[in-house]
Amino acid sequence: MVQSIGIDAGGSLLKLAYIEKGQLHVKAYDYSDIEMLLQWIAMVGREAKIGLTGGKAAFVQSKLPIKASYADEFEMTLSGAAFLLSREEKNTAAKILVSIGTGTSIYLLHGTESKRISGSGLGGGTLTGLSSLLLGTANFKELVSYAAKGDRSQADLQVRDIYGKENPPIPGHFTASNFGKAAQMGNPAKEDIAASLMGMIAETAVLLAVGAAHANRLKDICFIGGTLVNNIPLKQAVKEASAAFGCEAHFPDRGEYSGAIGALISL
């Protein structure tokens, strides 16, 4: 039986972290699958202590058969990230930490000390919200699957589209306008729309992070948060955009579950 469970009830996904046989394990559920989560807890965690965090913590608590302890979302995300980074690397030098959850928060992290620098309302909630409006689905896994098959150039206006045969001052594949080509192309495929949504979120987060990195004379940026769960298209877009601005993107192992891990280790 599992003795302790950390749950991060985010706006888009439910993330879990737990220890079993001395090993850290993680899981993610869409809210449409919350009954599966409850069944799992009933089977393996009936007597477990549960640490709960995130914006939908009250909703999840109302579904749980046992009382959970609540902890602040930002504190749990940072403590979880610091825990993962301490296990992963010896280097405790300052770095920029970007949490892409329902929205996006940006921190300066130095060892276990942190300071919030900025943030944006664009994040996983934006992805699922716009996906619902444009694609008719708010299912996160389905959106990621579409994006993996899409081509952003079919909806985004790129620098090369503006300059044509002329040599542009910046690389031609850079985005000039997110969805700027959609009107010209008529109705882009749902896969292309999904890929463009991922690109818009990635580029917005990276631009804010790069500004923070340059202001603090740093180049390393660590990206965490539930929106990155099994999201290869978003990670690739983040990596490419970071490199374009002279920074290096890092994705700590299980960093997508930082909030849940923070809630777990707080017990």
The residues that are catalytic are: 73
Between CA 45 and CA 4 the distance in angstroms is 8
Q: In the chain, how many H helices and how many E strands?
A: 10, 12
What are the E-state strand segments in 42-112?
Answer: 49-53, 69-70, 95-100, 104-110
Between CA 262 and CA 82 the distance in angstroms is 9
Contact residues for 88 (Cβ-Cβ < 8 A; gap 6+): 252, 253
On whether the CB atoms of residues 143 and 135 are closer than 8 A, the answer is: yes
User: Phi and psi of 226, rounded to 5°?
Assistant: -60, -25
Calculate helix-pair angle for 140-149, 190-215, nearest 10 degrees.
90
Between CA 25 and CA 61 the distance in angstroms is 21
On whether the CB atoms of residues 212 and 96 are closer than 8 A, the answer is: yes
